[in-house]
Chain A
């Protein structure tokens, strides 16, 4: 019995000695949307430099709160914080990767990319004013397409999320009725439909129930092979979600380092821009110099080497011009 105890204690001491070694660990938490790409980058980063990145997807709100309390090295948030709030909480902010929100449908006979919608129709569907799929407002956008006379079921996010924030910001900006009745935010009071938990919940529900419409992050739509709809953008063109349309949205976005890159890639002016795109952001606490240097080193590496894994997971890396702006921002704040 004594021998076993001695053996176990020796093993524990040896283990802790090796673990207390010089391994660099970066702790981050926040948005669940970019979690897969951060973890893919962390794996590669560990293989090349040996430093470890710990990322927990607890939600954007959690990420914002924890970095303000300085319990993390960096926080991740799908919705950007306004410059006033960043100043008030002494934070820095920069974008990491770009995604888009995609409306998904399940209507018999309609395949991926076939159904065309515009902001007005989308808004009225989610307000519960369009209750039948073959309503004129939908049929007029899809001349020649057979749409069955069935009732619309709206699926929204039952939990608070950055996806909802981006989607409701789009509806608020393009539709005064939505703005006055519902508003925008990570969690809103949806006037119609039922809630699914998480992107997975909404995707699963739309996939197996007929005559439904929902909204998910592009990565989920792509990987689950869901039927997405085309949207009419500000330039008047119908666009399908994809890397090229997201990239055009990112190019025409107004990322200003002086405003800590606070911008929504909603309804941007590009000819072929996807109207519901958004960047996901990293938040740093100004006082944590060491943590910030580590984090910036990681993201610098990710900007240089992480494009391929990001694209594999259906995330759009930042355009080169934006990456350079972010690097300049780091330099201006003494982190590089």
Chain B
């Protein structure tokens, strides 16, 4: 006969409350998904799935909509932002844990956390009023003169640098997502047992060799987790990018052209969408972003789990 354990009533209430909290999250996600599907049903019926995802037309006057341009913009800004942010964030984490003198560790750590606390609309306004002019006057022409002359990479830097383009938007986005990777990487690096590090120093490894061969491999999983967090943030970031991207629905090869991401289009056009099909298409875009983020984060999680399994063997 099984022994029925008598549970402490406080424990029971505690487990019920936390279960409700967790279930609420799942219910919310399902609820949001349901609303998105329901509101975009008109657009799904009108445009279908493949046609909407591949059409580059976004014309509110003729009521013809397609998501290809905004999906492209989302991918490019996210990819570029990660490209810029990851090395910088890992560099910051390495500096703070291994290289910085003790009195610098705290202030830099606090500065990184403050960077994360700045509201995204402040980033957007700062980007529009300060960063975009600097980009247009100094950075972008300089890059055009140097990298712009190279055969393959040069295509990315064609056109008149105006400041409101994919490049500036990606830079602002990268500044926004640095804190997540930096904080989590720093905490992962701190978890490396000092015994292992000191052993490496003892057999004559330089500081860089210790970081590259001991610390980084040890904290790989934590760093990937931080990158996944940054990726999620970059995919959904709206206000920081809305001011400096231009909302120009086009697929362009130059980083100096204005473009549109899904979030920027939603932010700019949602309140003024007058026809039902227009509003429904915007919901359809939101649904596409929802599914896209889900898939990308699932892939990231999958790789994380695989790496974990391989590591703990």
Contacts and interface: CB of A to CB of B under 8 A. Distances in A.
A and B: interacting chains: yes
Interface of A: 58-62, 64, 151, 153, 158-161, 182-189, 194-197, 201, 204-205, 208-209
Contacts of B128: 201, 204
B272 interface: yes
Given A61-B274, A187-B272, A194 B162 contact: yes
A194 B258 contact: yes
B273 interface: yes
B272 A60 contact: yes
B60 A185 contact: yes
Contacts of A195: 164, 246-248, 258, 268
B242 A197 contact: yes
A298 B269 CA distance: 31
B58 interface: yes
A201 B239 CA distance: 13
Contacts of B133: 208
A160 B242 contact: no
B136 interface: yes
A225 B278 CA distance: 36
Contacts of A187: 60, 269, 272-273, 278
Interface of B: 58-62, 128-129, 133, 136, 160, 162-164, 242-243, 246-249, 258, 267-269, 271-274, 278
B61 A183 contact: yes
B274 A186 contact: yes
Contact of B61 (A61, A189, A201): A189
Contacts of B269: 159-160, 187
A160 B267 CA distance: 10
B203 to A, nearest CB: 58
Given A189-B59, A204-B129, A158 B272 contact: no
Given A160-B269, A209-B136, A194 B274 contact: no
25 contacts: A59-B272, A60-B272, A62-B271, A62-B272, A64-B274, A153-B160, A153-B162, A158-B246, A158-B268, A159-B267, A159-B271, A159-B272, A184-B61, A185-B274, A187-B269, A187-B273, A187-B278, A188-B61, A189-B59, A194-B164, A195-B164, A195-B247, A195-B258, A197-B242, A201-B243
Given A160-B60, A194-B164, A186 B272 contact: yes
